Amino acid sequence: MSEKIRLYVDTPLGEGQSVLLSRDQAHYLFGVMRQQVGAYVSLFNGRDGEWQAEVVEAGKRKGILLCTKLTAPLRMPPDLWLLFAPIKKARTDFIVEKAVEMGARAIAPVITEYTNSERVRQDRLQAHALEAAEQCGATYVPQVQAAGRLDRLLADWDPDRRILFADESRAGTLDALIGAPGPWAILIGPEGGFSSWERETLLKMPQVVPIALGPRILRADTAAVAAMTLWQHSIGDWQGGGA
Amino acid sequence: MSEKIRLYVDTPLGEGQSVLLSRDQAHYLFGVMRQQVGAYVSLFNGRDGEWQAEVVEAGKRKGILLCTKLTAPLRMPPDLWLLFAPIKKARTDFIVEKAVEMGARAIAPVITEYTNSERVRQDRLQAHALEAAEQCGATYVPQVQAAGRLDRLLADWDPDRRILFADESRAGTLDALIGAPGPWAILIGPEGGFSSWERETLLKMPQVVPIALGPRILRADTAAVAAMTLWQHSIGDWQGGGA
Q: Is residue B1 part of a domain?
A: no
Check whether residue A66 and residue A104 sit in a common domain. no
Cα-flanking dihedrals φ and ψ of residue A174, to 5°? -85, -5
Check whether residue A30 and residue A109 sit in a common domain. no
Segment A205-228 shows an average pLDDT of 93
Q: Is residue B101 part of a domain?
A: yes
Q: Is residue A118 part of a domain?
A: yes
pTM score, whole prediction: 0.92
Q: Is residue B33 part of a domain?
A: yes
CB contact under 8 A, A241 and B136: no
Per-residue pLDDT at A118 exceeds 70 = no
Q: Is residue A240 part of a domain?
A: no
Q: Is residue A161 part of a domain?
A: yes
pLDDT, tens digit, 9 for 90 and up, residues B62-93:
999 999 999 999 999 999 999 999 988 788 99
* Under 8 Å between Cβ of A226 and B101: no
Below-70 pLDDT ranges, chain B? 1-3, 117-118, 168-176, 178-179, 240-243
What's the gap in Å between the CA of A132 and the closest CA on chain B? Answer: 10
Residue numbers of the domain that contains B127: 80-235
* Under 8 Å between Cβ of A55 and A36: yes
Check whether residue B90 and residue B209 sit in a common domain. yes
Q: Which of B114, B170, B213 lies at the smallest CB-CB distance from A1?
A: B114
The mean predicted confidence, pLDDT, of chain A is 90
Nearest in space to B24 (alpha carbons), one of B66, B54, B61, B65: B61
pLDDT, tens digit, 9 for 90 and up, residues A64-100:
999 999 999 999 999 999 999 998 878 899 999 999 9
Check whether residue A168 and residue A89 sit in a common domain. yes
B73 touches A at CB < 8 Å = no
Per-residue pLDDT at A179 exceeds 90 = no
Q: Is residue A243 part of a domain?
A: no
Check whether residue A30 and residue A90 sit in a common domain. no
Domain CATH code at residue A25: 2.40.240.20
Residue A225 belongs to what H/E stretch?
helix A220-235
Domain CATH code at residue B124: 3.40.1280.10
Between A100 and A171, the more confident residue is A100
Chain A residues within 8 A of B213 when measuring between CB atoms = 229, 238, 242
Which of A72, A91, A111 finishes a domain?
A72
Residue B80 belongs to what H/E stretch?
strand B80-84
Check whether residue A208 and residue A89 sit in a common domain. yes
C-alpha separations of A163 from A200, A214, A236, B85, B183 in Å: 14, 19, 14, 35, 35
Q: What ipTM did this prediction achieve? A: 0.92
Check whether residue B48 and residue B162 sit in a common domain. no
Check whether residue B64 and residue B95 sit in a common domain. no
Which of A35, A56, A72 finishes a domain?
A72
Q: Is residue B241 part of a domain?
A: no
